Amino acid sequence: MKITDSTFFLLKECEGLKLKSYQCPAKVWTIAMGNTFYLDGTPVKQGDTITMGKAIKLFYSVGAKFEKSVNELITKPLTQHQWDVIFSICWQYGAAWLKKSLILKQINSNPNDLKGIRTIFDKMEYDNRRNIEFKHYSIK
């Protein structure tokens, strides 16, 4: 599957889109939708700003790596909304984490077991983000 507008808007809702650099909870300088580096590999610094257009370009460029990882890790057919959520989780935690996760195991076992998926989400951190993602995942 591919990144779509649906993917972009889910991630924007979960991450926010900030055009001025900020420190994430780990105290790393971050910009746009959770980016810590620019396309050229330069790290985000305090006081950096970015235009909306460059933030969107950064998302789609960096997102291509996550898109590939999600497509390699998912073994069951998903709806676009379900795929978007797995992409969002991969964006937040990384592909190495996702590969070992209970959520991936559950989805590759039965992507339509909403009760099982909800149970795993309830054990994950970032309750509000997981609630947003679960609502998106459940869209038919």
Distance between CA atoms of residues 71 and 26, nearest Å: 28
Q: How far is CA 81 from the centre of its chain?
A: 12
Max CA distance (Å), the chain = 45
pLDDT tens track for 10-34: 999 999 999 999 998 889 999 999 9
- How many whole angstroms separate alpha carbon 68 and alpha carbon 3? 10
Rounded to an integer, what is the distance from CA 8 to the centroid of its chain?
Answer: 9
Q: Tell me the mean pLDDT in the region 51-55.
A: 97
Q: Which one from 15, 67, 90, 133 is the annotated catalytic residue?
A: 15
Catalytic annotation present for 15: yes
- Report helix angle 127-137 to 5-15, nearest 10: 160
Instruction: Report yes or no: 124 and 95 within 8 Å, Cβ to Cβ.
Output: no
- Does 90 qualify as catalytic in the annotation? no
Distance, CA of 77 to CA of 87 (rounded, Å): 14
Residue 127: the pLDDT is: 78
Domains of the chain in start order, with CATH, are: 5-137 (1.10.530.40)
CB count in 10 Å sphere of residue 131: 13
> What would the pLDDT profile of 77-120 be if each residue is shown by its tens digit?
999 999 999 999 999 999 999 999 999 999 999 999 999 999 99
**Burial (Cβ within 10 Å: 0-12, 13-18, ≥19) of residue 50:** buried
Please say whether the beta carbons of 134 and 118 come within 8 A. yes
Question: Contact, 67 vs 86, CB < 8 A?
Answer: no
Instruction: Quote the pTM value.
Output: 0.94
